[in-house]
C-alpha cells in the first residue's frame, strides 16, 4: 500500500507532528511505501532513515516567518501547497493509495481542499484539534478562559472576540474559515479519526453527515516500568504549557489553599505572572522527554487542570502508564482516561476549591498508593503502543480502500 501523509511540519514540534512522523516511520518499517508531505522543515532525520520519501515545501510557520505579512497570505491561502500536492497525488494509483491528513492549519492552509476533493484516492483525517469546525481551533474563549458555546460563523461568533490576542486576529480567523468552507476541504472528508469521545461529540454537528467516525488513540511512548516502587511519593506536578487555557493558575491557587507544593514542568506566556503571584510555586522550565518521565514517575499525582476541551492529552496517558494517578478537570477529554476515585480524581473545571479537595485527598499515602497501582494496571491492560496504533490504522486503511475485510464503523471501533 502507498500512504501519503500530509502535515504542516516535517519535524517534531508537538504532539500532532510526533504522531504523524512516528506513524510514518512505523508504516514504512512494515513494508509500505510512505510519502510524507509537509510545508515546514527541516525534515526529521528518522524519516529518511526509515525509507520514507519526504517532500518539504520549505515554507515558514508563524514562529519562523521573517515577514508576518507574507506569512499571513500563506496562512490564509497557501498558493504553493495545492500545486505541489497535486503533483504528488497525480503520480499515485488511486487503487493502491491512501491519503492521511494530520495537519493543515499551521502552514498548509485550506488551499489543499480543492486537490483533496477532486482526487479519487481515499482520504482519512485525524482530528488533532477543531479547526475544521471552529475558526480558532478550540471552541475556546481566550479572554474569559472558558469553553465557547457559540455556533461557529454565526453572527454571535463573528461579533465576539474569542482570540488570545485581539479582535483583528479573530477576524482573520473568520476570513480563513470562510475560505475553508468554500475550499472543498469539508467535502473531501470520508473517514475521520477522532482521538477522544468528547472530540467527536463536539465536532460531529459541524461536519458532513456522510463522515464515518473512528476512535483511534494516539500512541504513547512509555516503557512498562512496573508499578511504583515503595520509595516515598513526591509532590503534585503539572507538565506542559503554562498558560490560561491549561489552567496553571488554578493549580497554583488550589495548592496554596491545600497547603501543598505545586511543581510546574514547562514554560509559557503566563509563567512570569504565575511566579509573581505564587512565589511558593516551583517552575522547573522545559525538560527533556526522559527527564519529564522521571519527574512524573516520582510524583504523587499529575494535575491536569485544563479548562478547554483538548483532544487527547498525551501527558495524562503518559502519567498513567508510569503508574502516577491523575487529577483532571472534568471539562477536558483527559477525563476519559481517568476513572474517578480509581486511578485519579475529576474536579470541577476552573474551581480551585474542588481541586484543592482532590489534592488533600491524594495527600493520604494509602489512597495515593492504591490509585497509583490502579493507574498502572488499567493502562497496561490495553496500552496505546505504536504497534497497536499501526494495527488500527492499517485496518482502517484497508477498509477505506474497499478491502475484502471492509469494516463498518461499529465493527472497526469494536476491534480496537
pLDDT tens, position by position, for the chain (416 residues)? 999 999 999 999 888 999 999 999 999 999 999 999 999 999 999 999 999 999 999 999 988 888 888 899 999 999 999 999 999 999 999 999 999 999 999 999 999 999 999 999 999 999 999 999 999 999 999 999 899 999 999 999 999 999 989 999 999 999 999 999 999 999 999 999 999 999 999 999 999 999 999 999 999 999 999 999 998 999 999 999 999 999 999 999 999 999 999 999 999 999 999 999 999 999 999 999 999 999 999 999 999 999 999 988 999 999 999 999 999 999 999 999 999 999 999 999 999 999 999 999 999 999 999 999 999 999 999 999 999 999 999 999 999 998 544 444 443 443 34
pLDDT of residue 403: 59
C-alpha cell at 226: 512496573
Query: In Å, how far from its chain's centre is CA 370?
Result: 29
Q: Is the peptide bond before 229 cis (omega within 30 degrees of 0)?
A: no
Q: How far apart are CA 416 and CA 407, in angstroms?
A: 12
Give the Å distances, CA to CA, from 61 to 41, 263, 266.
10, 31, 22
If you ran DSSP here, which 8-state letter would residue 251 be given? Answer: H
Q: Is the peptide bond before 42 cis (omega within 30 degrees of 0)?
A: yes
Q: How far apart are CA 70 and CA 61, in angstroms?
A: 11
pLDDT of residue 311: 87
pLDDT of residue 104: 97
Q: Cβ distance 329 to 302 under 8 Å?
A: no
**Structural domains present in the chain:** 2-132+185-219+385-414 (3.40.50.2000), 236-381 (3.40.50.2000)
Give the Å distances, CA to CA, from 351 to 251, 301, 330, 361.
9, 18, 10, 16
Q: Cβ distance 127 to 193 under 8 Å?
A: yes
Amino acid at each position: 500500500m502507498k500512504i501519503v501523509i500530509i502535515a504542516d511540519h516535517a519535524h517534531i514540534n508537538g504532539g500532532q507532528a510526533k504522531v504523524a512522523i512516528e506513524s510514518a516511520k512505523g508504516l514504512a518499517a512494515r513494508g509500505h511505501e510512505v510519502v510524507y508531505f509537509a510545508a515546514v522543515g527541516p525534515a526529521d532525520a528518522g524519516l529518511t532513515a526509515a525509507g520514507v520519501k519526504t517532500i518539504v515545501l520549505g515554507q515558514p510557520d508563524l514562529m519562523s516567518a521573517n515577514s508576518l505579512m507574507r506569512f499571513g497570505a500563506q496562512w490564509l491561502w497557501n498558493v504553493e501547497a495545492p500545486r505541489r500536492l497535486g503533483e504528488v497525488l497525480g503520480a499515485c494509483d488511486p487503487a493502491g493509495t491512501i491519503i492521511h491528513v494530520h495537519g493543515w492549519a499551521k502552514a498548509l492552509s485550506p488551499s489543499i481542499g480543492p486537490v483533496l476533493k477532486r482526487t479519487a484516492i481515499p482520504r482519512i483525517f485525524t482530528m488533532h484539534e477543531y479547526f475544521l469546525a471552529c475558526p480558532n481551533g478550540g471552541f475556546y474563549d481566550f479572554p474569559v478562559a472558558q469553553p465557547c458555546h457559540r455556533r461557529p460563523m454565526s453572527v454571535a461568533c463573528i461579533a465576539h472576540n474569542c482570540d488570545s490576542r485581539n479582535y483583528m486576529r479573530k477576524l482573520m480567523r473568520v476570513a480563513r474559515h470562510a475560505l475553508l468552507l468554500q475550499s472543498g476541504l469539508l467535502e473531501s472528508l470520508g473517514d475521520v479519526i477522532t482521538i477522544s469521545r468528547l472530540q467527536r461529540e463536539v465536532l460531529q454537528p459541524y461536519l458532513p453527515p456522510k463522515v464515518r467516525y473512528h476512535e483511534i488513540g494516539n500512541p504513547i511512548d512509555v516503557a512498562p516500568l512496573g508499578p511504583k516502587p515503595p520509595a516515598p511519593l513526591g509532590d503534585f506536578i503539572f507538565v506542559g504549557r503554562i498558560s490560561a487555557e491549561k489552567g496553571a493558575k488554578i493549580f497554583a491557587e488550589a495548592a496554596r489553599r491545600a497547603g501543598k507544593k505545586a511543581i510546574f514542568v514547562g514554560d509559557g506566556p503566563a509563567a512570569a505572572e504565575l511566579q509573581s503571584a505564587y512565589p511558593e510555586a516551583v517552575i522547573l522550565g522545559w525538560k527533556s522527554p526522559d527527564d519529564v518521565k522521571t519527574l512524573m514517575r516520582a510524583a504523587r499525582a499529575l494535575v491536569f487542570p485544563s479548562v478547554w476541551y483538548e483532544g487527547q492529552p498525551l501527558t495524562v496517558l503518559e502519567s498513567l502508564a508510569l503508574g502516577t494517578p491523575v487529577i483532571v478537570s472534568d471539562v477536558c477529554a483527559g477525563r476519559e482516561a481517568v476513572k474517578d476515585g480509581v486511578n485519579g480524581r475529576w474536579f470541577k473545571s476552573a474551581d480551585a476549591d474542588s481541586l484543592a479537595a482532590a489534592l488533600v485527598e491524594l495527600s493520604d499515602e494509602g489512597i495515593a498508593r492504591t490509585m497509583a497501582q490502579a493507574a498502572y494496571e488499567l493502562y497496561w491492560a490495553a496500552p496505546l503502543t505504536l504497534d497497536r496504533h499501526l494495527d488500527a490504522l492499517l485496518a482502517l486503511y484497508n477498509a477505506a480502500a474497499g478491502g475484502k475485510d471492509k469494516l463498518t464503523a461499529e465493527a472497526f471501533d469494536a476491534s480496537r
